[in-house]
Amino acid sequence: MDVTAEPSLPLRAARVVTEVLSPIVIVVALVLAVAWQGTGYALVPTLAWSLLVAVFYSAIPMVILVRGARRGRWGGHWVAERERRFVPFLLSLGSALVGLVIMLVGGAPRVVVALAWSMITIVVACLVITRWWKVSVHATVASGAAATIVLLYGPWYLVLVAGVALVCWARVTVAAHTVAQVVVGALLGPIVGGVVFLTLR
């Protein structure tokens, strides 16, 4: 086997999907959609609350992942090793909780706070599961985001399930997860995150 051969087209496509539809990107897009509805479609408040959530739920966790990878604490910015995921998950949870406190003090729209709690619950669930099993965070976030959009904007957005399937395919194709791990992740998002969001919004 030629180990120097170029990766196949499906593998290259899967790597692109892994980055373009990563949890970090999806969270930013999701909060924009949620804040837009929660602020009564007002542009400035939407951008303000979206920026806050993006910083504490996306940017800071990404910095944690990238810096840890560069320092050799884990393999790659998506933390390939299950046993090394606990610390970055815990740090990301801390960032999310700080963001939540700011939202509560600042009087964020109820739906935005519900989204924050939903994402925190998902992080906690993944944190617990990852102690024993490498559930797919990509699939969890993608499916949870799709469920949230459907709850807010209606059943037409069930088409987003195709995007969830694409994320699952990508994570299996790049050999980051097994089929079981992406399937459980895809169920975890709506069941945990979706239910919390629906209850609190």
Assigned domain for 96 exists = yes
Residue type for position 126: C
Q: Which two tokens stand for residue 90?
A: 């815990």
The count of C-alpha atoms lying within 13 angstroms of the C-alpha of 43, restricted to the half-sphere facing its C-beta, is: 0
Assigned domain for 88 exists = yes
183 contacts 134 by C-beta, under 8 angstroms: no
Average of per-residue pLDDT across 123-141:
93
What is the pLDDT at residue 78?
83
Checking if the pLDDT of 196 tops 60, the result is: yes
Residue 82's pLDDT band, with cuts at 50, 70 and 90, is confident
Assigned domain for 32 exists = yes
Assigned domain for 1 exists = no
Assigned domain for 4 exists = no
Summarize pLDDT for 20-40 with one digit per residue, the tens: 999 999 999 999 999 999 999
What's this model's pTM, rounded to 2 decimal places?
A: 0.92
Average of per-residue pLDDT across 191-196:
93
Residue type for position 140: T
What is the pLDDT at residue 1?
43
What is the pLDDT at residue 79?
84
116 contacts 53 by C-beta, under 8 angstroms: yes
**49-77: b or e for each residue (b if 16 or more CB lie within 10 Å)?**
bbebbbebbbbbbbebbeebbeeeebeeb
What is the pLDDT at residue 80?
82
Q: Which two tokens stand for residue 106?
A: 């600042």
DSSP codes joined into one string, 18-65 = HHHT-HHHHHHHHHHHHHHHHTTS-HHHHHHHHHHHHIIIIIHHHHHH
Q: Which two tokens stand for residue 182?
A: 């992406």
- Whole-number average pLDDT of the chain: 93
User: The domain containing residue 140 runs over which residues?
Assistant: 9-200
Assigned domain for 3 exists = no
DSSP codes joined into one string, 65-125 = HHHHHHTTSSSTTTT--GGGSHHHHHHHHHHHHHHHHHHHHHT--HHHHHHHHHHHHHHHH
What is the pLDDT at residue 12?
95
Assigned domain for 18 exists = yes
Assigned domain for 85 exists = yes
Residue found by looking up tokens 């709506």 in the block:
190
Q: Quick one: what percent of the chain has pLDDT higher than 90?
A: 83
Average of per-residue pLDDT across 86-103:
94
What is the enclosing helix (H) or strand (E) of 51?
helix 43-54
Q: Which of 41-45, 80-84, 87-91, 132-136 has the lowest mean pLDDT?
A: 80-84
| Domain count of the fold of the chain | 1
Checking if the pLDDT of 2 tops 90, the result is: no
Checking if the pLDDT of 109 tops 60, the result is: yes
* Residue 70 to residue 182: CA distance in whole angstroms: 26
Checking if the pLDDT of 53 tops 90, the result is: yes
What is the pLDDT at residue 4?
56
